[in-house]
Amino acid sequence: MEYVELKEQIANAPVSSRAALEKLYMLVTIGDAVQAEFAEYLAAADNYQEFFDAIYRDENRKFSLLWAQCASLKRRNWLRFFEPKMLVENIRLKGEGIPIQFGTGMMFAPTGSRDNIANLYVFPSGGFNTHAAEFVTSIGGTFTVLDNEFCGIYGLYKYRGSVIMEEWQVEREPVKVDPDAF
C-alpha cells in the first residue's frame, strides 16, 4: 500500500473510528509521507487495518504511545505483553472495585468495567505501557490490598476489568497478612 491509499482509506473509514485513525495517522506520518521506520509495514499492508496491526505486533514498540493507540483501536487486551511482579486473577467483587484498606479507612480501586470479577496487576516502575491504561490516582503509605500489605507510593490505573498498580517508590516488598488480624 502507498501513503496516498492510507490517507484515503482513513478518510473513508466509518465515522465511529475515524478520530482514532486520524490520531494514529498523525503519529506515523511526517509531511506527506509515512515515517521511514514504518515504511516496511505500509508496503506489506493492503489496508490501514493490516498496517496498524503490524505496528501492534512489533513488541519493540510496546512502550510507545503509538503502540497503545494501536491496541485501543481494536480493544485488544495488551496486558499479556508485560510481566507483572504480582498478579491476582478472578477476584470476586462485592463493591464498586477492589478494596484498599488504610488503617480504619477504605477506598475502592475502580476496575474500568462493570463486571463483578476483576484482576489485580502490580508492575515495577516502567513495567507496562502507561499510555494504554487510564490513570486513576496515586496512593502512598502503608495499605492492604487483597491480604497483601504494601508500603510505599504506587500509581493506580484501571483497564477493562483490571486494577493496575505501578511501583513508584517502594519502601519494602508486599507482605502477606492475616485477614482476620484486622
- Residue range 50-88, pLDDT digits in tens: 999 999 999 999 999 999 999 998 888 899 999 999 999
Asked if 135 and 89 sit in the same domain, the reply is: yes
* Whole-number pLDDT of residue 115: 77
Above 90 in pLDDT, residue 173? Answer: yes
Domain stop point among 60, 76, 92:
76
Contact between 139 and 100 (Cβ < 8 Å) = yes
Asked if 88 and 166 sit in the same domain, the reply is: yes
Percent of the chain residues past pLDDT 70, beyond the cut: 98
Could you tell me how many residues make up the chain?
182
pLDDT band at residue 116 under the 50/70/90 scheme: confident
Task: Give me the number of domains the chain comprises.
Answer: 2
Asked if 99 and 151 sit in the same domain, the reply is: yes
DSSP 8-state code for residue 42:
H
This prediction has a pTM of 0.87
Over residues 6-30, mean pLDDT = 94
Asked if 63 and 97 sit in the same domain, the reply is: no
User: Average pLDDT of the chain?
Assistant: 92
The three cell numbers of residue 46 are 493492503
* Whole-number pLDDT of residue 181: 60
Asked if 65 and 103 sit in the same domain, the reply is: no
Asked if 66 and 98 sit in the same domain, the reply is: no
**Pairing outcome for strands 162-176 and 117-123:** parallel
Domain stop point among 43, 76, 109:
76
Strands (DSSP E) found in the chain: 29-30, 33-34, 86-92, 98-102, 105-109, 117-123, 134-145, 148-159, 162-176
Domain stop point among 18, 49, 76:
76
Give φ, ψ of 44 to 5 degrees: -85, -10
3-state class (DSSP) for residue 112? coil
Q: Which domain holds residue 92?
A: 80-181
Asked if 115 and 160 sit in the same domain, the reply is: yes
Asked if 37 and 88 sit in the same domain, the reply is: no
Asked if 95 and 72 sit in the same domain, the reply is: no
